[in-house]
């Protein structure tokens, strides 16, 4: 559906084209001179930029167009020797293929540019307009491909990871239009995961345009040894989704054999559902998610990759929220472990931090929200709760606040809005933070830490915390980030003495908390993960995405 602004814009451009077309028949005899075109470009830049009302983050690309034309003295980009540079045709082809990156060609004015290119005898004004519009399209696409089209914070306040770069802007200062167009592919995120996702998007788009979904009829659980048409449907669907490769070997399509079971197990693993090799209700429901829906999910995750830095640090901590894991990329080695993340009502935000220090045997200063929502109800039920669990109570959050006797306070008379005390849990084996706290200072007060609740790591879905990230093996984590330094010995001594110590890290480490619902696995197949925090729906609402068929006219 075209927005009011876009609809108005298309009317304006159409009117502009028709008016210019009629004038060309009356006045154009000789090809326009370069000086005529250059002068007209200068006249048209501001006018055309204003006509193309900035949408979302597009004010930045449009301003860059104006600056680039000023820098080149308003010399046209796409007109050379009184002729249209052939690279503009290549640009249009690239823009029309933008859907293969999950972007929509309608944003890049391809039909408008093609209308100008179809003019047999364009006037200086028409050539100038085409030059500016083509540059706007090039710049917008370069920006979107490099940094993403949408502002993440406008989509989700808990998504605070946005690392824009200026690589796309440099493209406008290359010496030729050919160089600008040829440089566009270099702006895509270079991470292999983006490249694989993009190829799978093309696969799903091609499938959707050429084939209908093969759905598995609902019914009883299908397992090895079963026979019938539903088994044939199951096999055909797994072939369609890439879990079974086509073979020349003859197969009884309606027989559930070991090969089909193995394929189904692969499917279940990469969709994070119970792995049993049988097609029960949950598995069939997942199998029957339409290809078009899967294509949309891939586009959301391609956009998320474009919000990340163009180059990731070799040494980094990568908290993969939808996989419930932390991956330590340190000194050329990868170490991974399970984590517990924030429950849906207390989402762990997406952001980047810099880990600078760790704390052994930490004191837990309870955040206001947790004190109001968790501690207060427990105190109202049991006034001795703080004493039993090793907490100290202070009159306020100010320095030098007086320590109070929690058993002498009538907690039932205190409401959440009037709770102003400071609660601190002292270091011991029951402390909510365990033996370690790993700090990367941030406005969200999120950090990684140990936990006494080890049983939660046995669960498949591990969204149980109040927002911070709990580590399965914090000792190993601490060892890795202090390896080969004096800090490792400091840590060991502090643990043995059970002292509450702050240890500065020998090297500060970038920490990424990321959220992807579609991720390539080690075999290059796609994992479709549970959307724990329902962030895909926010992407759907913001992007207004509808599956793009390149054969449709805009």
For residue 515, give Cα distances in angstroms to 158, 170, 301, 316, 350.
Answer: 11, 30, 9, 16, 7
H or E element at residue 327: strand 325-330
Residue appearing with tokens 């890049």: 108
Greatest alpha-carbon span in the chain: 98
Query: 334 in helix, strand or coil?
Result: strand
Q: What is the spatial order of strands in the sheet that 391-394 belongs to?
A: 364-365, 422-425, 391-394, 403-404
Number of neighbouring beta carbons within 10 Å of residue 527: 16
For the chain, the distance separating the N- and C-terminal CA atoms, rounded to the nearest angstrom, is 10
| Closest CA relative to residue 407, chosen from 425, 422, 427, 386 | 386
Q: Which helix (H) or strand (E) holds 301?
A: helix 291-306
Query: Exposed, middle or buried: residue 166 (CB in 10 Å: 0-12, 13-18, 19+)?
Result: exposed
**Secondary structure of residue 459 in the 3-state scheme:** coil
CA proximity to 98, closest of 90, 89, 108: 108
- Summarize the chain as % helix, strand, coil (round to 5): 45, 15, 35
Q: What is the distance, to the nearest Å, from the Cα of residue 262 to the centroid of all Cα atoms in its chain?
A: 31
The DSSP string of 120-180 is: SS--HHHHHHHHHHHHHHHHHHHHHHHH-SS-HHHH-TTB------SHHHHGGGSS-HHHH
Which positions ≥6 away from 128 have C-beta within 8 Å?
A: 37, 40, 41, 43, 44, 76
Q: Could you write out the three-class secondary structure of 44-55?
A: HHHHHHHHCCCC
498: left (phi over 0), alpha (psi -120 to 50) or beta: left
Q: Which helix (H) or strand (E) holds 448?
A: strand 448-449
Site of tokens 């088994």:
231
Query: Annotated active-site positions, please?
Result: 449, 468
Distance CA 470, CA 434 (A): 10
């Amino acid at each position: 559906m075209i927005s009011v602004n876009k609809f108005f814009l298309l009317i304006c451009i159409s009117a502009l084209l028709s008016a210019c077309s009629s004038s060309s028949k009356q006045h154009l005899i000789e090809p326009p001179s370069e000086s005529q075109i250059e002068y007209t470009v200068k006249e048209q830049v501001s006018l055309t930029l204003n006509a193309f009302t900035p949408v979302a983050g597009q004010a930045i690309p449009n301003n860059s167009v104006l600056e680039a034309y000023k820098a080149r003295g308003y010399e046209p980009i796409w007109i050379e020797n009184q002729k249209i540079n052939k690279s503009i045709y290549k640009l249009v082809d690239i823009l029309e293929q933008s859907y293969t990156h999950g972007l929509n060609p309608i944003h890049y004015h391809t039909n408008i540019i093609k209308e100008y290119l179809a003019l047999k005898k364009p006037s200086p004004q028409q050539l100038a307009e085409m030059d500016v519009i083509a540059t706007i399209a090039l710049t917008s696409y370069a920006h979107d491909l490099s940094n993403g089209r949408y502002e993440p914070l406008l989509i989700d306040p808990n998504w605070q990871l946005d690392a824009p770069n200026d690589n796309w802007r440099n493209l406008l200062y290359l010496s030729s239009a050919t160089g600008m167009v040829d440089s566009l592919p270099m702006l895509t995120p270079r991470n292999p995961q983006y490249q694989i996702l993009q190829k799978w998007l093309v696969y799903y788009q091609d499938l959707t345009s050429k084939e209908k979904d093969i759905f598995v009829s609902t019914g009883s659980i299908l397992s090895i040894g079963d026979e019938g048409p539903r088994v044939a449907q199951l096999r055909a669907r797994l072939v369609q989704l890439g879990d079974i490769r086509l073979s020349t070997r003859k197969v009884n399509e309606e027989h559930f054999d070991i090969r089909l079971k193995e394929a189904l197990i692969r499917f279940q693993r990469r969709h994070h559902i119970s792995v049993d090799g049988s097609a029960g209700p949950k598995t069939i429901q997942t199998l029957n998610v339409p290809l078009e829906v899967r294509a949309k999910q891939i586009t959301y995750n391609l956009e998320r990759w474009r919000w990340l830095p163009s180059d990731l640090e070799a040494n980094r901590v990568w908290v993969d929220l939808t996989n419930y894991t932390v991956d330590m990329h340190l000194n050329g080695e990868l170490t991974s472990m399970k984590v517990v993340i924030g429950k849906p009502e207390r989402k762990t935000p997406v952001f980047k931090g810099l880990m600078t220090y760790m704390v052994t045997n930490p004191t837990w200063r309870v955040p206001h929200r947790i004190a109001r929502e968790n501690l207060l109800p427990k105190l109202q039920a049991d006034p001795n709760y703080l004493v039993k669990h090793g907490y100290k109570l202070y009159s306020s959050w100010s320095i030098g606040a007086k320590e109070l006797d929690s058993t002498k306070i009538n907690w039932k008379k205190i409401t959440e809005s009037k709770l102003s005390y400071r609660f601190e849990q002292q270091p011991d084996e029951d402390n909510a933070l365990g033996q370690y706290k790993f700090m990367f200072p941030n406005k969200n007060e999120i950090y990684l830490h140990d936990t006494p609740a080890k049983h939660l790591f046995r669960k498949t879905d591990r969204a149980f915390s109040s927002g911070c990230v709990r580590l399965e093996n914090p000792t190993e984590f601490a060892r890795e980030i202090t390896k080969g330094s004096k800090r490792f010995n400091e840590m060991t001594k502090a643990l043995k003495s059970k002292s509450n110590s702050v240890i500065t890290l020998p090297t500060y480490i970038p920490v990424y908390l990321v959220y992807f619902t579609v991720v390539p696995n080690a075999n290059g197949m796609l994992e479709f993960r549970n959307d724990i925090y329902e962030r895909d729906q926010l992407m759907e609402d913001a992007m207004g995405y509808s599956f793009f068929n390149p054969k449709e006219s805009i």
